[in-house]
Amino acid sequence: MAGQYDAVIIGAGIIGASIAFELAKKGYKTLNVDKLSVAGAGSTVNTCAVIRTHYSTLEGTAMAYESYLHWKNWPEYLGVEDERGYAELREIGIVVLCCEDHDMSAHIDHHRELGIPVEVWDLETLKEKMPFIVTESFYPPRRPSDEDFGKSSGRSLTGAIYMPGGGYINDPQLSVHNVQRAAEAQGAEFRFRSEVVDIRRRDERVAGVTLAGGEEIDSPVVVNAGGPHSFIINRMAGVDSDMKISTRALRHEVHYIPAPEDYDLDRDGRLISDDDISGYSRPETGNKLLVGSQDPECDPKEWVDDPDEFNREVTDEQWQAQVYRMAQRIPSLRIPGQAQGIVDLYDVSDDWIPIYDKSDLEGYYMAVGTSGNQYKNGPMAGLLMAELIDVCEQGRDHDADPVRVTCPITGFELNAGFYSRNREIVEDSSFSVLG
């Protein structure tokens, strides 16, 4: 017999679980359907789990800060015990290195407007605080095969921005399990090892989903929170051709290397974001550093047509590009002979800013295009989507009159229309994982 729910959510990563939590608190009977075995087993499990507030737009900054305040008080936000314990925010602070080629004034302005703690360091302060880094500029970022790789531009960094509020979550998959338990306490249901193969319609409205094997689950609301599979799900729903902003899957690598011998976790263990070399790093368990890329133009992009079939092995070329670039900044890095890291997919939108929106198919909603930068915004993404769905299901035309969502802690009013599928390209975006 077909199941009946108020909302079916495709996906059980941090975004899908958070939507279920917030909808269930509003009294919706929800079901998350995921083809993997447990919550958070998709791209969420391989996230770098960075919690930061520096985004290229005011809306992105506000959403990140509100979510950070939820992560900071995680058990209180969830309101329920988890038999596995809670994921933890390792609040180590974030240093954004500044160079002449990247104007960081908007980031500073956003933080000050929203009352987010921020310090501006001049070059001398940067050298004092982080004596292990080289302050030369190497811009633009290059690959090791470039004959000019490693050459100074003849300039230096100009300083840094330091944000004490931020760091990373120690166990991202556990964090999703935490949200699952919180949602279940509100009546939400989760179903795993179940693949959606069709999104059914009745007239011009969504009617539910069909699973592999033929089982039909009825629901007047279906939410696409399918991560890197989002473009396939939108195609299944027949809405992909009616959107100005599209999404696709991008293969991405992050790497692990031993920390320098003189590296002290308590003293030096901050997260570093470096536009000059287009890389970032953060401490990792076992006195290691995790090193990632901020998607410079010199790095080829590997778009993936089938999110279930892609190379999951670290490549020597990208390992060298990311690790060697970071070694320009931190010369004392110990680079092992064997590449180590993880590979997964980003669900990338055209401007690297997410789509949190309805669609042209009534009852079908999307939380997609998270572009590798929205794990941190899980709490607010869930609230924004729940508010948007609830208001639209009561008859409001969100396209004509965008829903506004008040952040419960800071009081900032988010215009959900900023994340519309039909927006123009947001030119203020970083067009990278930075959002």
Task: Name the residue type at position 321.
Answer: A
pLDDT in tens, 220-268: 999 999 999 999 999 999 999 999 999 999 999 999 999 988 888 778 8
Together in a domain, 79 and 98: no
The count of domains in the chain is 2
Residue 430 inside a domain? The answer is: no
**57-66, 87-96, 254-263: lowest mean pLDDT where?**
254-263
The three-class DSSP label of residue 31 is strand
Mean pLDDT along residues 165-187: 97
d(CA 183, CA 164): 30
Together in a domain, 158 and 275: yes
Mean pLDDT along residues 10-29: 98
Half-sphere exposure of 21 (CA within 13 A, CB side): 27
Helix spans in 135-244 (H): 172-185, 230-237
Residue 127: domain span: 94-164+252-343
Together in a domain, 256 and 339: yes
Together in a domain, 237 and 379: yes
Together in a domain, 412 and 370: yes
Backbone region of residue 49 per phi and psi (left: phi > 0; alpha: psi in -120 to 50; beta: other values) = left
pLDDT in tens, 114-165: 999 999 999 999 999 999 999 999 999 999 999 999 999 999 999 999 999 9
Q: Using alpha carbons only, what angle is made at residue 226 by residues 57 and 85, rounded to the nearest 5 degrees?
A: 85
Do 416 and 387 touch, CB atoms closer than 8 A?
A: yes
Residue 356 inside a domain? The answer is: yes
d(CA 260, CA 287): 9
Together in a domain, 195 and 265: no
Given 308, 343, 378, the domain boundary residue is: 343
d(CA 369, CA 346): 8
Q: How many CB atoms sit inside 10 A of residue 426's CB?
A: 21
Q: What are 90's two structure tokens?
A: 């390792």
Together in a domain, 188 and 300: no
- pTM of the model as a whole: 0.97
Mean pLDDT along residues 277-302: 94
Residue 424 inside a domain? The answer is: no
Q: What CATH number should be reported for the domain holding residue 277?
A: 3.30.9.10
Together in a domain, 99 and 74: no
Residue 432 inside a domain? The answer is: no
Together in a domain, 260 and 393: no
Task: Name the residue type at position 410.
Answer: T
Given 302, 320, 343, the domain boundary residue is: 343
Together in a domain, 81 and 8: yes
Given 321, 343, 365, the domain boundary residue is: 343
Residue 2, pLDDT > 60, answer no
Which residue, 416, 395, 389, is CA-closest to 405? 416
